Amino acid sequence: MKSSGPLIEACSVTKRFGGVCAVDAVSLSIRSGEITAIIGENGAGKSTLVKLLCGVHRADEGEVRIDGQAVAMNGPADALALGIAHIPQELELCDAMSVSQNLLLGSEPIGRFGLIDEDQCLRQARNSLEKVSLDIPLDVPVRDLGHGQRQLIAIARALDGDARVLFLDEPTATLSPAETSILLEQIVAMKTAGAAIVLITHRLAEVEQVADRVMVLRDGHPVASLTGDEIERSEMVRLMVGRDLKPSEEQETTTGEVRLLIKDLTSSAHPDPIQLEVRAGERVALAGLVGAGRSELLEALFGLRNRTGVVEVDGITVPPFDAARSVEMGLALVPEERASQGLALQMTVEQNAVLPGIHRHGRTLGWLDRRAGEQVAKQLVESLDVRPAATDLAVSDLSGGNQQKVVIGKWLALHPGVLLLDEPTRGVDVGAREELHQRLMQLSKDGVAILFSSSEMEEVLALSHRVVVLHEGRITGTLTTSTTSEQQIMALATGGDPR
Amino acid sequence: MRDERKLLGILGVLVAVAMVTALFSPSFVSAYNIENLLRRSALFGIIGIGASLVIITGGIDLSIGSLICLVGCLTPWLITVVGVTPWLVVPALLILATLLGMSHGMLVTRLKLQPFLVTLCGLFIYRGITRGILADNTVGFGTEGSALRALGNGRIQLPGIDGFALPAPLVILIVIAVLSWLLLNRTVWGRHLKAIGCNETAARHCGISVDRVKVGAYALCGLLTGIGGVLFVLDTGSAQPSNFGNFYELYAIAAAVLGGCSLRGGEGSIIGVLIGATLVQVLRNAIVLIDGIPDSIEFAVIGGIILIAVIADEAIRRFTAANKSMK
């Protein structure tokens, strides 16, 4: 090793998205022969920090240095040329192409006449699969493989590229225990061989097991850097959570009728049958980490995703995979991605407001009932205090918080009996969040059953009566919000023991 | 495996249509008809390969017919009216076609315009220019360039067989098909082309210069279209700018889709395109030959067959996907 200085450094890098500061003046040094873990709650800025370090994003402030030199990278190809490999959470493989073609994509060996040397390809591909102890045929398309195997192929790809720094974003999130231990062994072996490895993970047991250095992020800020014996599970949980949140004081007991009943629900994201009921006036939170199957559960309930099992609304069975029927039976889903799933951004507030019930507003020969539409939109704007209070404004001109009010409001116009919300206040400023919370509480007092998922503990604790914790598609615990703690939820969400 | 099944399926349809046609019209299997069918199939196979290269990237080229018109009309016009020597005309026009294809690629990659729009404009522009240059007059070779014309309408006698000869374009197609197959399946460029169609982000993350590969695909499509345009006019002997090459882009796209190309990109095989091109020509031929089918419904028949093929493909895909998820 020529120098003992850091291989790659972030020097007080800052990145904002819109008004939100995702990463705020974070400095981090990564050395060869070390495994650095970056941990933090959902939305703490881990992935953004990594994307800054490997050229996917550019820092608004601060700089990234490699071997002490400031560098400006334009995309992953530049980073790759500098020996930095990034394996994102969403794997980037060509599904229809074979294992060996994927492994060698971009670095195919050339033989005679400028043609690809197929024999050499197979040899190299076999070699790199051996490195990750994966024994599969080389000619099957990668779409036929399981997620764990695909993950290992992506890692094998990175290992082949002679990367000096390897960033792994949640590499074990979808792996089986056996695959996980193979992967961790590989990572340790690479470290011993002198590579620098950065691990972003929610699985604190793995961090304890392999990390030499841990950086804890919270809300985009660095809160601590741990080394050696300081790397200890309960300490990490404490640092990640950081605050002592009180569960909501409001303790009305919920003895209403069961409005939403889930019996033996399974889907591609939920291997074990799920049982759950939500009563009139009750607010139930779904907590869990990325990939725990929260959004998928809401989608399955609403009929956007196939499922088995029984779902009943007010005692009437809801057919699976039929969102139109679900709406008729009084279900509504406020989706996670406001821009892509919740709104037609170029259309006006009014046009968005009437979209879910458009066929009810305009019954005469399919003509739109413009007056009824205006009525619905006006009521939405008034009841949720959308600002500016104009119904003919394109939704894209509203702030995030007001857009979210439109998404929620368009469903309220149909008076749903069961309201499903996926991250009800993501990307919403504090003031609007408070307003939305008040509105949701009012709704449940009026007898609506609310089931929502949230990655923010604060919201889970402030808004729910009960918390259902999911881990890898399975319910790991159901907690009463008034008697639980953030630590307890986190422990269940990471698949550990709640003590 | 799925690809092979797809090929077998479309080959089966081809054989079935040919057999039915032969049953209803004995002249289908006459040496004269077979020879003509092969000639047409070869010509459309060449432009089908061009279209498929673009389709594999997830793009589309709608300008093929108009580019054929441009090249096809300018070839006799430059030779007979302007008086340029044929051996200069053909290479110059092929270079022109390649550059036009390349310009489509540049607009798609640099300005991020949609391939549909770029080539739709090409469709209008090239035909308009051609009609302008020729003032809508038909041009022919007359007595000129007869040596050159052998490339299009030439017949290569096979020893010991009377009445049937190999059409020259078939030989050209075979050469082009072999080269394209090697390019697509055995070169780095071809591998990258498929990868881009499969997952452009992944390709970028592998350090592939996506833009260069894409521009190459459009340029090659231009070149193959140019070759097709020259051969078409050498075969027919004359061209009318207002209708020469009309709808040929659709025949080319149909050949590519029938041959297993997905318009989403990433999938496609040269052999499939050849079978697809042949199937389209056999269908056209069958409509002409079989009594009782009015020639005027040609488009409806072709459209119907493509629709059935696409539905069958989708049904098989869902069936296998459902089977897999049950396991």
Q: What is the CATH number of the domain that holds B208?
A: 1.10.3470
- Give the whole-angstrom CA distance, residue B217 versus residue B228: 16
ω before A388 within 30° of 0 (cis)?
Answer: yes
- Give the whole-angstrom CA distance, residue B130 versus residue B58: 29
Domain membership flag for residue B127: yes
Spatial CA neighbour of A107 closest among A127, A130, A136: A127
Q: Which range among A221-225, A442-446, B203-207 shows the weakest confidence by mean pLDDT? A: B203-207
DSSP bridge pairs for A113? none
**Is there a contact between B205 and A92 if contact means CB atoms under 8 Å apart?**
yes
**pLDDT the model gives residue A256:** 84
SS (H, E, C) chain B: CHHHHHHHHHHHHHHHHHHHHHHHCHHHHCHHHHHHHHHHHHHHHHHHHHHHHHHHCCCCCCCHHHHHHHHHHHHHHHHHHHCCCHHHHHHHHHHHHHHHHHHHHHHHHCCCCCHHHHHHHHHHHHHHHHHHHHCCCCEECCCCCHHHHHHHHCEEECCCCCCCEEEHHHHHHHHHHHHHHHHHHHEHHHHHHHHHHHCHHHHHHCCCCHHHHHHHHHHHHHHHHHHHHHHHHHHHCEECCCCCCCCHHHHHHHHHHHCCCCCCCCCCCHHHHHHHHHHHHHHHHHHHHCCCCCHHHHHHHHHHHHHHHHHHHHHHHHHHHHHHHHC
Task: Read off the pLDDT of each residue in A77-82 and give the average, rounded to a whole number.
Answer: 82
DSSP bridge pairs for A270? A267
Q: Are A87 and A148 in contact (CB under 8 A)?
A: no
Window 80-139 of A, Cβ < 8 Å to B: 80-81, 86, 92-97, 101, 105-108, 110, 114-116, 118
Please check the confidence at residue A176 and state whether its pLDDT lies above 50.
yes
B204 close to A (CB below 8 A): yes
Window 248-287 of B, Cβ < 8 Å to A: 266-267
Up-side HSE of residue A330: CA atoms within 13 Å toward CB? 18
Q: What percent of chain A has pLDDT over 70?
A: 91
**pLDDT the model gives residue A254:** 61
Residues B111-151 pLDDT 10s: 999 999 999 999 999 999 999 999 999 999 988 877 888 89
The model's confidence at residue A361, banded by pLDDT at 50, 70 and 90, is low
Question: Cβ-count burial of B316 within 10 angstroms (0-12 exposed, 13-18 middle, 19+ buried)?
Answer: middle
Report the sign of the C-alpha dihedral through residues A45, A51, A53, A55, in that order. negative
**pLDDT the model gives residue B327:** 46
Domain membership flag for residue B248: yes
**Is there a contact between A116 and B199 if contact means CB atoms under 8 Å apart?**
no
CA angle B265, B268, B273 (to 5 degrees): 130
Task: Kindly list the residues from chain B whose CB atom is less than 8 angstroms away from the CB atom of residue A268.
Answer: 325
**pLDDT the model gives residue B50:** 97
Residues A99-132 pLDDT 10s: 999 999 888 888 888 889 989 999 999 988 887 7
The pair of three-digit structure tokens given for residue B105, joined into one six-digit string? 């690629």
Q: Which range among A28-32, A157-161, A341-345, A468-472 shows the weakest confidence by mean pLDDT? A: A157-161
**Is there a contact between A105 and B192 if contact means CB atoms under 8 Å apart?**
yes
User: Which residues, at least 6 apart from A25, have a Cβ–Cβ distance to it below 8 Å?
Assistant: A12, A13, A14, A61, A62, A221
CB atoms within 10 A of CB A140: 14
Q: Which range among A17-26, B53-62, B64-73 shows the weakest confidence by mean pLDDT? A: A17-26
The model's confidence at residue A2, banded by pLDDT at 50, 70 and 90, is very low
Window 366-405 of A, Cβ < 8 Å to B: none
**pLDDT the model gives residue B41:** 96
Across all residues in chain A, what is the average pLDDT?
85
Please check the confidence at residue A295 and state whether its pLDDT lies above 80.
yes
Please check the confidence at residue A189 and state whether its pLDDT lies above 70.
yes
- Give the whole-angstrom CA distance, residue A243 versus residue A249: 17
Q: Are A21 and A44 in contact (CB under 8 A)?
A: no
Q: Which range among A79-83, A273-277, A364-368, A383-387 shows the weakest confidence by mean pLDDT? A: A364-368
- Give the whole-angstrom CA distance, residue A44 versus residue A484: 22
- Give the whole-angstrom CA distance, residue A380 versus residue A390: 11
Domain that holds residue B208: 2-137+149-154+164-322
Residue whose tokens read 């196939």: A306
- Give the whole-angstrom CA distance, residue A331 versus residue A416: 6
Among A94, A95, A157, the residue to mutate for chain B (most B Cβ within 10 A)? A94
Domain membership flag for residue B264: yes
Please check the confidence at residue B12 and state whether its pLDDT lies above 50.
yes
A56 close to B (CB below 8 A): no
Task: Read off the pLDDT of each residue in A216-226 and give the average, rounded to a whole number.
Answer: 87
Among B2, B198, B211, B320, the residue to mutate for chain A (most A Cβ within 10 A)? B198
CB atoms within 10 A of CB A152: 24
**pLDDT the model gives residue A42:** 66
The pair of three-digit structure tokens given for residue A168, joined into one six-digit string? 């792994």
* Phi, psi of B12, rounded to the nearest 5 degrees: -60, -45
Spatial CA neighbour of B106 closest among B260, B217, B258: B217
**For chain B, what is the domain count?**
1
The model's confidence at residue B240, banded by pLDDT at 50, 70 and 90, is very high
Residues B197-226 pLDDT 10s: 988 888 887 778 899 999 999 999 999 999
**Is there a contact between A105 and B325 if contact means CB atoms under 8 Å apart?**
no
Please check the confidence at residue A1 and state whether its pLDDT lies above 50.
no
CB atoms within 10 A of CB B240: 18
Domain membership flag for residue B120: yes
Q: What percent of chain A has pLDDT over 90?
A: 29
**pLDDT the model gives residue A365:** 66
**pLDDT the model gives residue B18:** 94
Domain membership flag for residue B327: no
**Is there a contact between B194 and A94 if contact means CB atoms under 8 Å apart?**
yes
**pLDDT the model gives residue A221:** 86
The pair of three-digit structure tokens given for residue A485, joined into one six-digit string? 């703690």
- Give the whole-angstrom CA distance, residue B263 versus residue A106: 24
The model's confidence at residue A243, banded by pLDDT at 50, 70 and 90, is low
- Give the whole-angstrom CA distance, residue B320 versus residue B2: 9
Question: Cβ-count burial of B323 within 10 angstroms (0-12 exposed, 13-18 middle, 19+ buried)?
Answer: exposed
Please check the confidence at residue A62 and state whether its pLDDT lies above 60.
yes
Domains defined for chain A, CATH in brackets: 8-241 (3.40.50.300), 258-493 (3.40.50.300)
**pLDDT the model gives residue A499:** 44
Domain membership flag for residue B282: yes
Nearest to B198 among A94, A107, A144 (CB): A94
DSSP bridge pairs for A449? A418
**pLDDT the model gives residue A497:** 55
Task: Read off the pLDDT of each residue in A358-370 and give the average, rounded to a whole number.
Answer: 68
The pair of three-digit structure tokens given for residue A286, joined into one six-digit string? 């779904």
Domain membership flag for residue B159: no
CA angle B305, B248, B53 (to 5 degrees): 85
B182 close to A (CB below 8 A): yes
Name the minimum distance, in Å, from the CA of B193 to any CA of chain A. 11
Q: Are A88 and A154 in contact (CB under 8 A)?
A: no
Please check the confidence at residue B310 and state whether its pLDDT lies above 50.
yes
